[in-house]
Amino acid sequence: MLEKIALLGSTGSIGTQTLDVISRYPGKFQVEILTAASNTDLLTRQARQFMPSSVVINDKTKYRRLKENLSGTAIKIYAGEESLEQVVSESDAETVLTAIVGYSGLRPTIAAIKAGKKIALANKETLVVAGEIISKMLSVSASRILPVDSEHSAIFQCLTGEEKKTIEKITLTASGGPFLNLPADKLENVTKGEALNHPNWTMGDKITIDSASMMNKGLEVIEAKWLFDLEPDQIEVLIHPQSIIHSFVHFSDGSVKAQLGLPDMRLPILYALTFPDRYTSELPRLDFKNYPSFTFFQPDMKKFPNLQLAYNALRKGGNMPCILNAANERAVSAFLKRQIAFTQMPDVIEYTMGNIIYIAGPDLSALEETDRLAREIADNYITKLQKRK
Ligand code: NAD
Ligand code: MG
């Protein structure tokens, strides 16, 4: 039986690597849905290769072009955000891999959970923004989440066969990004090009900037809370520049388990798609002789305040992680447009977190309003910062 997959965000870094994985196992998977924000050319090539039932392009102005490109095929073509949710809900895909970046992944993921689908979750922002709501939905649904994020896949693999009550704590490893060894007073003047130059991973722009600023690890701490039902104090972060140990679980008897592998997202993608099986793969192998030493450091939260801000948001709960996420998305976008300095990103986030109404138990519509407001506050603050220059 072919496993039917809906791949949301197929033209991005995770999306293209997922199709690479799928193409290595002919006869195992059937791609049902491919979606993209606006890259019609790549979406067309992918659709012609994998022949899904439907494709969705977010940008409605690209609909006609996509339709022309795919004429002569039986592929159904849709455009716009609402169509994405509808196509996901109505499709007979069993698994939905969410590789959309940012807040935009939230609604389609919720649609997939409501439809009882298995979620292979790359879009960590969904759990950051609405972890509590998603957890409640999962508890009354046939749906479940399998992590794609490499650290969370590592934890998930370490927990196989273990009981939740035996977890003492987990350690999420972080590469430290391109500025790990840069003196803190030089951080202000780093360029977009330097920030996009990650030492170990090739990823989309947003997560690459998040990795350089340590916000990625902050988002992952919140993601881990909801995936594994942990308290903030049970989640620690350790810098491990080699990116070979993807994370650790510490158990109540003093034992520690870790999962290791080369930094290659195709491994956690494959595991999420095939769990509980472990498929044989031709992916490059880890040779320990090439890694004679593993090193570990405490993260520097003064130099990288984003990690501290994420812990604060997690501890505060309610709509605070949603505010953190929205302000971060605007700050990253402003940094990528060279409107603000690297070190001003945490300023934007901290300001936004301190200047918006706190809601303890927000429902989905309150989160939507929070997201909208937080973006507005962050954008206004960014404009102020630019004027000050
Ligand atoms: P990317 O920018 O390379 O790709 C994003 C994809 O989402 C593209 O296909 C794009 O067309 C689509 N998209 C963007 N905005 C959209 C919108 N508003 N509506 C619909 N589609 C939209 O990003 P990525 O690096 O592949 O990351 C995707 C997600 O996976 C992120 O949440 C990221 O944090 C997570 N993740 C990525 C990696 C990695 O190695 N790249 C690792 C772990 C987790
Ligand atoms: Mg990760």
Residues 105 and 32 in one domain: yes
Which residue's C-alpha comes closest to atom 9 of ligand 1? Answer: 9
Q: Per-residue pLDDT tens, the chain, 389 aa: give them.
A: 899 999 999 999 999 999 999 999 999 999 999 999 999 999 999 999 999 999 999 999 999 999 999 999 999 999 999 999 999 999 999 999 999 999 999 999 999 999 999 999 999 999 999 999 999 999 999 999 999 999 999 999 999 999 999 999 999 999 999 999 999 999 999 999 999 999 888 999 999 999 999 999 999 999 999 999 999 999 999 999 999 999 999 999 999 999 999 999 999 999 999 999 999 999 999 999 999 999 999 999 999 999 999 999 999 999 999 999 999 999 999 999 999 999 999 999 999 999 999 999 999 999 999 999 999 999 999 999 999 87
Q: What is the pTM of this model?
A: 0.98
Residues 371 and 389 in one domain: yes
**Which residues, 6+ apart, have CB-to-CB distance to 39 below 8 Å?**
11
Tell me if 305 CB under 6 Å of ligand 1: no
Q: Which domain holds residue 89?
A: 3-147
Sign of the dihedral through C-alpha 42, 44, 46, 52? positive
Question: Count of CB atoms within 10 A of residue 73's CB?
Answer: 14
Q: Furthest-apart CA pair in the chain: how many Å?
A: 62
Helix axes 125-139, 106-114, angle to 10 degrees: 20
Are 186 and 209 contained in the same domain?
A: yes
| CATH number, residue 371 | 1.10.1740.10
Residue 203 makes CB contacts below 8 A (sequence gap 6+) with 13, 211, 265
Instruction: Report the C-alpha gap between 319 and 370 in whole angstroms.
Output: 7
**Domain contains 26:** yes
Does residue 312 sit in the same domain as residue 331?
no
Which residues make up the environment of ion ligand 2, defined by Cβ < 5 Å? 149-151
Could you tell me if 138 and 218 lie in one domain? no
List 357's β-bridge partners, or say none: none
- Both 160 and 114 in one domain: the answer is no
Question: Which residues sit opposite 76 in a β-bridge?
Answer: 54
Secondary structure in 3-state letters for the chain: CCEEEEEECCCCHHHHHHHHHHHCCCCCEEEEEEEECCCHHHHHHHHHHHCCCEEEECCHHHHHHHHHHCCCCCCEEEECHHHHHHHHHHCCCCEEEECCCCHHHHHHHHHHHHCCCEEEECCCHHHHHHHHHHHHHHHCCCCEEEECCHHHHHHHHHHCCCCHHHEEEEEEEECCCCCCCCCHHHHHHCCHHHHCCCCCCCCCHHHHHHHHHCHHHHHHHHHHHHHHCCCHHHEEEEECCCCCEEEEEEECCCCEEEEECCCCCHHHHHHHHHCCCCCCCCCCCCCHHHCCCCCCECCCCCCCHHHHHHHHHHHHCCCHHHHHHHHHHHHHHHHHCCCCCCCHHHHHHHHHHHCCCCCCCCCHHHHHHHHHHHHHHHHHHHHHHHHHC
Where is the domain boundary, 108, 124, 147?
Answer: 147
Same domain, residue pair 257 and 376: no
Closest atom, ligand 1, to C-alpha of 206: 2
Pocket flag, ligand 1, residue 123 (CB < 6 Å):
yes
CB of 15 closer than 6 angstroms to any ligand 1 atom: yes
CB neighbourhood size of 365 (10 A): 8
Owner of token pair 């896949």: 153
Q: Is residue 247 part of a domain?
A: yes
CA–CA separation, 216 and 347 (whole Å): 16
- Residue 251 covered by a domain: yes
Residue 237 domain-assigned? yes
In DSSP terms, 3 is beta-bridged to 29
Q: Are residue 241 and residue 330 in the same domain, yes or no? A: no
79 lines ligand 1 (CB under 6 A): no
268 alpha carbon – ligand 2 mean position (Å) = 10
Q: Are residues 59 and 169 in the same domain?
A: no
Residue 234 domain flag: yes
pLDDT value of position 201:
86
Contacts for 142 with CB less than 8 Å, ≥ 6 apart? 116
Residue 31 sits in a domain whose CATH number is 3.40.50.720
- Does the Cβ of 328 fall within 6 Å of ligand 1? no
* Number of residues that this document lists for the chain: 389
Domain check: are 331 and 308 in the same one? no
Q: What is the pLDDT of residue 215?
A: 98
Is the shortest distance between the CB of 265 and ligand 1 below 6 Å? yes
Q: Of 327, 322, 385, which Cα lies nearest the Cα of 359?
A: 322
Structural domain tally of the chain? 3
Answer yes or no: do 176 and 48 share one domain.
Answer: no
User: Within this chain, do residues 167 and 308 fall inside the same structural domain, yes or no?
Assistant: yes
Give dist(CA 118, CA 120) in Å, integer: 7
Sheet with 167-174, edge to edge strand ranges:
235-239, 167-174, 245-251, 256-260
Looking up tokens 């650790």, which residue turns up? Answer: 248
Token readout for 126 is 């969904």
